[in-house]
Amino acid sequence: MVYIIPLTDEEKMSIISGLRSTVPATRLVTIRKLQEICEIRPEAILFLDAYDKTTLNEIISLLKHIIEYDPDEIIRREAVIALEKLKKALGTKFTTYVPLCNNCKKPIDLGWEYCTNCGAEIDKMTFEEDVKRCKKCNKYIFDTWVYCAHCGTKLKDIVVEEELRCPNCKRPIQPEWMVCPYCGYRLKRKP
């Protein structure tokens, strides 16, 4: 059994405040701590992606801001490394576009009506990437949505992929497994 130890609220706030710090040494130490978390506890980053996207998006946007604007070359380089390690920890999930508020430049969710930071109306914003709108309510939507979060209109049909199952107990299995962990059935022989 794998135990996931998510980032505590204190750790999250420490990372965000450290990345926002005006003290270069604090930013550097925070960036290196984030690199360490990505390497040692990547599941904590995935947990953050699943349950606290706002914090994750803020960390990503702060790293990008440091990469672009920080005057210290070492800190910029370390921020690039931290962002790459964050991408690696997130895997393919990182390919999702993160929209930013036009007014305050903080991460927003297209399912919201207003920016939680400054109160700007999201429907009146424009974005760098081509963001689609719902055909019924004309509000912004993500490509991955099956239903519109605003009006509930079905946006696309769900393609159900057939899941691999154990021939013995019929439970879901992974293709790389040699033995079914549920019933002990040998799925394939060692090469």
Same domain, 119 and 56: no
Same domain, 35 and 107: no
User: Taking the CA of residue 56 as centre, how many other CA atoms within 13 Å lie in the half-sphere pointing to its CB?
Assistant: 24
| pLDDT (tens digit per residue) in 16-60 | 999 999 999 999 999 999 999 999 988 899 888 888 888 999 999
Question: Would the pTM of this model clear 0.85, i.e. be above it?
Answer: no
Contact 122, 114 (CB under 8 A): yes
Same domain, 168 and 146: no
Runs of H (alpha helix) within 41-146: 42-51, 53-69, 73-90
- Number of structural domains (the chain) is 3
Contact 106, 95 (CB under 8 A): no
What is the domain extent for residue 46? 9-95
Of residues 11 and 175, the one with the higher pLDDT is 11
Per DSSP, 140 falls in state: B
**Mean pLDDT, range 152-181, rounded to an integer:** 82
Give the number of residues written for the chain.
191
